[in-house]
């Protein structure tokens, strides 16, 4: 049995600037004072030094800006779709080639990498920008201050990292982390056994929640099988629909969500400050993302309305809660030639309506005399300035 410290000292793993990501231990255990790794199989005295990244690389000397995108898995195609929807299509000639570009953004290289490697390479300075799940940033970034969240809600890849326990046996009446921690079953000799791929966030969370006797095991997938196989008592894993938990007779418990996750855009703070052109490209990508994502849940609604004046029509519209639009309605007179000359006969109104409110809005429009209602999708809403850009500049001290 080795403490984590011992493990790292004896395994000459050099993490090249990356903050101590653990060399996937096969078993971890928590004691009263610290979370310890118990190593059951490892070449602890390996003579080979594994250098994860170039330590003193000349990365800052390269002039190209590098964006890391997921090379495969759940996040890959949604990420490309988002960029395409923002008119930033990635030109990728060959799926086995890991480098590509975005013709709209000069001097930018796109590198396809596994999500966890995107985070590692941002920390090591080999990438400048990246798009991955927040869970991956938190697990592999481990709070590194050089990692900056540029956009924290790209609206896909939604899931949560959760602690789950069996519905049956000794857990039948356990419904919260507090109750789990208070169970008398867990002792130093017989700790709560937790299976997880999140070997940083898992132990941290359980320690913070007062679970003193915990042993962790790790696997690359199908963790939900571990309790039924008798390998673990609980798991910490990603959940989205909850089907996998349900099918394996497991349940989430109160206080057991470690993290709510979705796709995010991250950047290296050092690069943002030092690399020429990066701030401008980041601003452009951020503006396009924001404009697209804001427009996603809105429709443009155009309708005709009879009235005596634009003001009178505006008053009627603003009296309806669903019709105020983004900044208020746009109202234009529609002129017709009559006996007494050219007069405004009715008014055309244009408003933005949240998609969820569409039918209610149409009903309200009709109730105040609206007719000929046309509905079309919105592509972008560009605001004067994006709040996220201001926040980013603040984080950079600019």
Ligand X SMILES: O=P(O)(O)OC[C@H]1O[C@H](OP(=O)(O)OP(=O)(O)O)[C@H](O)[C@@H]1O
The residues of the shown chain that bind ligand ATP, judged by CB under 6 A, are 72-75, 114-116, 133, 135-136, 157, 159, 220, 238, 240, 261
User: What sign does the dihedral 181-186-188-194 (CA atoms) show?
Assistant: negative
Residues 222-281 that bind ligand X (CB under 6 A): 222, 224, 237-244
Q: Does 139 bind ligand X (CB under 6 A)?
A: no
Using CB distances below 5 to 8 A depending on partner kind, what does residue 226 bind out of ligand ATP, ligand X, none?
Answer: none
Q: How far is the CB of 217 from ligand ATP (least distance, A)?
A: 16
Q: How far is the CB of 26 from ligand ATP (least distance, A)?
A: 17
Nearer to ligand ATP, 62 or 204 (CB): 204
Nearer to ligand X, 128 or 224 (CB): 224
Q: How far is the CB of 109 from ligand ATP (least distance, A)?
A: 21
Using CB distances below 5 to 8 A depending on partner kind, what does residue 242 bind out of ligand X, ligand ATP, none?
Answer: ligand X
Nearer to ligand ATP, 233 or 237 (CB): 237
Structure tokens at 376: 């079309």
Residues 347-366 that bind ligand X (CB under 6 A): none
Please choose, from the candidates 315, 384, 310, the residue with its C-alpha nearest in 3D space to the C-alpha of residue 346: 310
Q: Are 277 and 166 in contact (CB under 8 A)?
A: no
Structure tokens at 296: 């996603």
Q: Provide the angle, in degrees to the nearest 10, between the axes of the packed helices 278-296 and 387-395.
A: 150
Q: How far is the CB of 201 from ligand X (least distance, A)?
A: 14
Q: How far is the CB of 170 from ligand X (least distance, A)?
A: 23
Alpha helices by DSSP H, listed for the chain, are 4-10, 74-85, 115-124, 134-141, 177-182, 201-208, 226-229, 243-247, 269-274, 278-296, 310-318, 358-367, 387-395
Structure tokens at 48: 């080979």
C-alpha to C-alpha distance for 233 and 328, rounded to whole angstroms: 56
Nearer to ligand ATP, 263 or 317 (CB): 263
C-alpha to C-alpha distance for 17 and 338, rounded to whole angstroms: 78
Q: How far is the CB of 106 from ligand X (least distance, A)?
A: 36
- Torsion over CA of 16, 17, 20 and 23, rounded to 10 degrees? -20
Residues 184-223 that bind ligand X (CB under 6 A): 221-222
Structure tokens at 238: 């990603």
Size of the site for ligand X (CB under 6 A): 11
Strand pairing category for 13-14 and 99-101: unpaired
Cα 151 to Cα 6, 120, 295, distances in angstroms: 38, 18, 16
Using CB distances below 5 to 8 A depending on partner kind, what does residue 224 bind out of ligand X, ligand ATP, none?
Answer: ligand X
| 3-class DSSP assignment, residue 56 | coil
Element (H, E) at 222: none
Using CB distances below 5 to 8 A depending on partner kind, what does residue 222 bind out of ligand ATP, ligand X, none?
Answer: ligand X
Using CB distances below 5 to 8 A depending on partner kind, what does residue 57 bind out of ligand X, ligand ATP, none?
Answer: none
Structure tokens at 390: 């201001």
Q: How far is the CB of 261 from ligand ATP (least distance, A)?
A: 5
Using CB distances below 5 to 8 A depending on partner kind, what does residue 243 bind out of ligand X, ligand ATP, none?
Answer: ligand X
Q: How far is the CB of 161 from ligand ATP (least distance, A)?
A: 9
Q: How far is the CB of 228 from ligand X (least distance, A)?
A: 14
Q: Does 338 bind ligand X (CB under 6 A)?
A: no
C-alpha to C-alpha distance for 122 and 270, rounded to whole angstroms: 10
Tokens 């590098």, residue? 66
Q: Are 46 and 7 in contact (CB under 8 A)?
A: no
Q: How far is the CB of 259 from ligand ATP (least distance, A)?
A: 10
Q: Are 250 and 229 in contact (CB under 8 A)?
A: no
Nearer to ligand ATP, 125 or 133 (CB): 133
Using CB distances below 5 to 8 A depending on partner kind, what does residue 261 bind out of ligand X, ligand ATP, none?
Answer: ligand ATP
Closest residue to ligand X: CB criterion: 221
Nearer to ligand ATP, 38 or 113 (CB): 113
Nearer to ligand ATP, 159 or 234 (CB): 159
Give the interface with ligand X as residue ranges (CB under 6 A).
Answer: 221-222, 224, 237-244
């Amino acid at each position: 049995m080795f403490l984590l410290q011992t493990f790292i000292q004896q395994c000459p793993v050099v993490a090249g600037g990356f903050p101590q990501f653990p060399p996937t231990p096969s078993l971890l255990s928590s004691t009263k004072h610290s979370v310890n790794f118990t190593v059951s199989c490892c070449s602890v005295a390996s003579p080979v030094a594994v250098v994860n990244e170039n330590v003193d690389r000349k990365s800052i000397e390269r002039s190209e800006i590098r964006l890391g995108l997921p090379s495969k898995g759940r996040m890959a195609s949604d990420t490309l779709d988002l960029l395409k929807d923002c008119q930033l299509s990635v030109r990728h000639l060959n799926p086995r080639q890991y480098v590509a570009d975005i013709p709209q953004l000069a001097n930018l290289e796109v590198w396809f990498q596994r999500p966890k490697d995107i985070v590692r390479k941002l920390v090591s300075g080999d990438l400048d920008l990246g798009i991955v799940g927040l869970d991956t940033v938190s697990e592999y970034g481990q709070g590194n201050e050089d990692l900056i969240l540029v956009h924290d809600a790209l609206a896909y890849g939604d899931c949560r990292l959760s602690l789950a326990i069996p519905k049956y046996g000794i857990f039948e009446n356990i419904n919260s982390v507090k109750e789990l921690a208070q169970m008398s079953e867990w002792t130093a000799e017989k700790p709560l056994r937790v299976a997880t791929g999140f070997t940083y966030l898992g132990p941290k969370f359980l320690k913070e929640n007062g679970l003193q006797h915990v042993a962790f095991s790790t696997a690359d997938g199908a963790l939900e099988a571990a309790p039924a196989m008798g390998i673990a008592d609980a798991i910490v894993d990603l959940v989205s629909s909850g089907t996998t938990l349900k099918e394996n007779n497991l349940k989430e418990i109160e206080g057991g969500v470690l993290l709510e996750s979705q796709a995010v855009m991250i950047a290296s703070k050092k690069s943002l400050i030092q690399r020429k052109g990066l701030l401008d490209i980041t601003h452009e990508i951020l503006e396009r993302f924001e404009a697209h994502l804001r427009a996603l849940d809105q429709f443009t609604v155009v309708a005709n309305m009879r009235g005596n004046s634009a003001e009178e029509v505006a008053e009627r519209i603003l009296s309806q809660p669903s019709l105020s639009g983004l900044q208020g309605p746009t109202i234009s007179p529609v002129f017709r030639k009559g006996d007494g000359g050219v007069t405004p006969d009715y008014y055309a109104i244009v408003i933005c309506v949240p998609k969820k409110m569409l039918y209610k809005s149409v009903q309200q429009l009709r109730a105040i005399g609206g007719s000929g209602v046309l509905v079309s999708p919105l592509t972008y809403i560009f605001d004067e300035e994006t709040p996220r850009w201001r926040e980013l500049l603040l984080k950079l001290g600019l």
